Amino acid sequence: MATRSHMLLALSLFVTHVSNQSGASRWEERNPGVWTTEFGRHDTPTLTEASGSTPLKGQIEKLPRAELPFKINEVKLTKTRDYCVVSVPLKPGEKIFGLGMQMSGINRRGGVYHLQVDHFAEGHDRLHAPTPMYISSLGYAVFLNTSRPINFYVGVGNRRTDPKIPAFKDRNTDRNWDAQPDSGQVEASVQAPGLEITILAGPTAMQALQRYNLFCGGGAMPPLWAVGFWHRTPSLATSSQVSQEVDEFAKRGFPLDVIGLEPGWQSRSYPGSMEWSPERFPNPKQFVSSMAEKGIHVNLWENPYVAPGSSLFKKLESRFGSHTVWLGAVPDVFDDKASKSIRDFHTDKHLNIGVSGYKIDEVDGFDFWLWPDHATFPSGLDGLQMRQIYGVLWQKLIDNMYRQKGQRTFGLVRGSNGAASRLPFAIYSDTYDHHQYITALINSSLAGVTWCAEIRSADSNEEWVRRMQSACLSPIAQLNAWDSGKKPWSYPAVSEEIREAMLLRESLVPYLYTAFAQYRLSGIPPVRPMCLIDGGVESDQYMLGDNLLFAPMFVGAKTRTVRLPAGKWYDYSSGKFAGSSQTITIAPSLSEIPLYVRGGAAIPTIPGALRADSIKPCLLRCYGEGPYVAPIYEDDGISFGFEQGHYFLGTARINKGKITTKLEDGLRPNVMTKFEYVVIAP
Amino acid sequence: MATRSHMLLALSLFVTHVSNQSGASRWEERNPGVWTTEFGRHDTPTLTEASGSTPLKGQIEKLPRAELPFKINEVKLTKTRDYCVVSVPLKPGEKIFGLGMQMSGINRRGGVYHLQVDHFAEGHDRLHAPTPMYISSLGYAVFLNTSRPINFYVGVGNRRTDPKIPAFKDRNTDRNWDAQPDSGQVEASVQAPGLEITILAGPTAMQALQRYNLFCGGGAMPPLWAVGFWHRTPSLATSSQVSQEVDEFAKRGFPLDVIGLEPGWQSRSYPGSMEWSPERFPNPKQFVSSMAEKGIHVNLWENPYVAPGSSLFKKLESRFGSHTVWLGAVPDVFDDKASKSIRDFHTDKHLNIGVSGYKIDEVDGFDFWLWPDHATFPSGLDGLQMRQIYGVLWQKLIDNMYRQKGQRTFGLVRGSNGAASRLPFAIYSDTYDHHQYITALINSSLAGVTWCAEIRSADSNEEWVRRMQSACLSPIAQLNAWDSGKKPWSYPAVSEEIREAMLLRESLVPYLYTAFAQYRLSGIPPVRPMCLIDGGVESDQYMLGDNLLFAPMFVGAKTRTVRLPAGKWYDYSSGKFAGSSQTITIAPSLSEIPLYVRGGAAIPTIPGALRADSIKPCLLRCYGEGPYVAPIYEDDGISFGFEQGHYFLGTARINKGKITTKLEDGLRPNVMTKFEYVVIAP
Model confidence over B147-192: pLDDT tens digits?
999 999 999 999 999 999 999 999 999 999 999 999 999 999 999 9
**Which of A323, A374, A386, A430 is the best substitution to test chain B (most B C-beta atoms within 10 A)?**
A374
CB proximity list for A231: less than 8 A, separation 6 or greater: A245, A249, A256, A258, A259, A260, A478, A479, A481, A487, A488
Maximum distance among all Cα pairs of chain A, rounded to whole angstroms:
92
Q: How many CB pairs under 8 A join A and B?
A: 197
**pLDDT of residue A168 exceeding 60:** yes
**Which candidate, B144, B148, B130, places its Cα nearest to that of B200?**
B144
Model confidence over B223-266: pLDDT tens digits?
999 999 999 999 999 999 999 999 999 999 999 999 999 999 99
d(CA A31, nearest CA chain B) in Å: 31
The answer, for A278 touching chain B at a CB cutoff of 8 Å, is no
Model confidence over B260-291: pLDDT tens digits?
999 999 999 999 999 999 999 999 999 999 99
Query: Cβ contact (<8 Å) for B158 and A323?
Result: yes
- Alpha-carbon distances, residue B469 vs A8, A549, B182, B500, B623 (angstroms): 67, 57, 40, 9, 21
CB proximity list for A557: less than 8 A, separation 6 or greater: none
- Region B119-123 average pLDDT: 93
d(CA B180, nearest CA chain A) in Å: 7
Q: What stretches of B265-382 show up as alpha helix (H) in DSSP?
A: 284-293, 311-315, 336-349
Helix axes B509-522, B205-215, angle to 10 degrees: 80
Model confidence over A101-142: pLDDT tens digits?
999 999 999 999 999 999 999 999 999 999 999 999 999 999
**Which of A9, A79, A118, A172 is the best substitution to test chain B (most B C-beta atoms within 10 A)?**
A172
How high is the pLDDT of residue B674? 84
> Distance between CA A516 and CA A512 in Å, rounded?
6
Model confidence over B453-486: pLDDT tens digits?
999 999 999 999 999 999 999 999 999 999 999 9
Model confidence over A180-216: pLDDT tens digits?
999 999 999 999 999 999 999 999 999 999 999 999 9
**Which candidate, B309, B185, B291, places its Cα nearest to that of B233?**
B291
How high is the pLDDT of residue A43? 78
Model confidence over B543-577: pLDDT tens digits?
999 999 999 999 999 999 999 999 999 999 999 99
d(CA A554, nearest CA chain B) in Å: 27
Query: Cβ contact (<8 Å) for A323 and B85?
Result: no
Equal fold, A4-215 vs A547-679: yes
Helix axes B2-23, A2-24, angle to 10 degrees: 110
Query: Which of B170, B264, B307 is nearest residue A168 as measured by Cβ atoms?
Result: B307
Q: What is the pTM of this model?
A: 0.95
Query: Which of A122, A177, A382 is nearest residue B81 as measured by Cβ atoms?
Result: A382
- Region B35-43 average pLDDT: 89
**DSSP E strands: which ranges in A132-224?**
133-136, 140-145, 150-154, 185-190, 194-201
The answer, for A380 touching chain B at a CB cutoff of 8 Å, is yes
**DSSP E strands: which ranges in B46-184?**
76-79, 84-89, 96-98, 112-117, 126-127, 133-136, 140-145, 150-154
The answer, for A563 touching chain B at a CB cutoff of 8 Å, is no
d(CA B269, nearest CA chain A) in Å: 5
d(CA B117, nearest CA chain A) in Å: 14
The answer, for A105 touching chain B at a CB cutoff of 8 Å, is no
The answer, for A384 touching chain B at a CB cutoff of 8 Å, is yes
> Distance between CA A244 and CA B349 in Å, rounded?
84
Query: Cβ contact (<8 Å) for A372 and B156?
Result: yes
- Alpha-carbon distances, residue B390 vs B123, B335, B340 (angstroms): 22, 12, 16
> Distance between CA B213 and CA B208 in Å, rounded?
9
Model confidence over A268-282: pLDDT tens digits?
999 999 999 999 999
Query: Cβ contact (<8 Å) for B156 and A368?
Result: yes
CB proximity list for A330: less than 8 A, separation 6 or greater: A304, A305, A306, A320, A321, A323, A324, A371, A375, A377, B160
How high is the pLDDT of residue A674? 85
Model confidence over B498-543: pLDDT tens digits?
999 999 999 999 999 999 999 999 999 999 999 999 888 899 999 9
A4-215: CATH class: mainly beta
Burial of A547 (0-12, 13-18, 19+ CB in 10 A): buried
Query: Cβ contact (<8 Å) for B323 and A4?
Result: no
Chain B, 287 to 316: residues with Cβ < 8 Å from chain A are 307-309
How high is the pLDDT of residue B571? 98
> Distance between CA A412 and CA A300 in Å, rounded?
10
- Region B44-51 average pLDDT: 96
Residues of chain B in contact with residue A275, where contact means CB-CB under 8 angstroms, are none
Helix axes B495-507, B509-522, angle to 10 degrees: 50
Residues of chain A in contact with residue B307, where contact means CB-CB under 8 angstroms, are 168
d(CA B498, nearest CA chain A) in Å: 31
CATH superfamily, domain at B547-679: Golgi alpha-mannosidase II (2.60.40.1180)
Chain A, 64 to 103: residues with Cβ < 8 Å from chain B are 80-83, 85
Parallel, antiparallel, or unpaired: how do β-strands A477-480 and A229-232 relate?
Answer: parallel
> Distance between CA B519 and CA B513 in Å, rounded?
10
pLDDT averaged over every residue in chain B:
94
Query: Which of A8, A187, A322 is nearest residue B372 as measured by Cβ atoms?
Result: A187
Contact B617, B676 (CB under 8 A): yes
Find the residue in A nearest to B266 (Cα): A172
For chain A, the domains span 4-215, 270-276+293-361+371-409, 547-679
Residues of chain B in contact with residue A384, where contact means CB-CB under 8 angstroms, are 82
The answer, for B165 touching chain A at a CB cutoff of 8 Å, is yes
The answer, for B326 touching chain A at a CB cutoff of 8 Å, is yes
Query: Cβ contact (<8 Å) for A151 and B189?
Result: no
**Which of A8, A160, A379, A482 is the best substitution to test chain B (most B C-beta atoms within 10 A)?**
A160
Find the residue in A nearest to B109 (Cα): A368
Query: Cβ contact (<8 Å) for A384 and B82?
Result: yes
Choose between B448 and A617: higher pLDDT: B448
Q: What share of chain B is helix, strand, coil (3-state, %, to 5)?
A: 25, 25, 45
Q: In which element (H, E) is residue A19 found?
A: helix A2-24
**pLDDT of residue B1 exceeding 50:** no
d(CA B38, nearest CA chain A) in Å: 19
d(CA B395, nearest CA chain A) in Å: 24
How high is the pLDDT of residue B549? 98
The answer, for A264 touching chain B at a CB cutoff of 8 Å, is yes
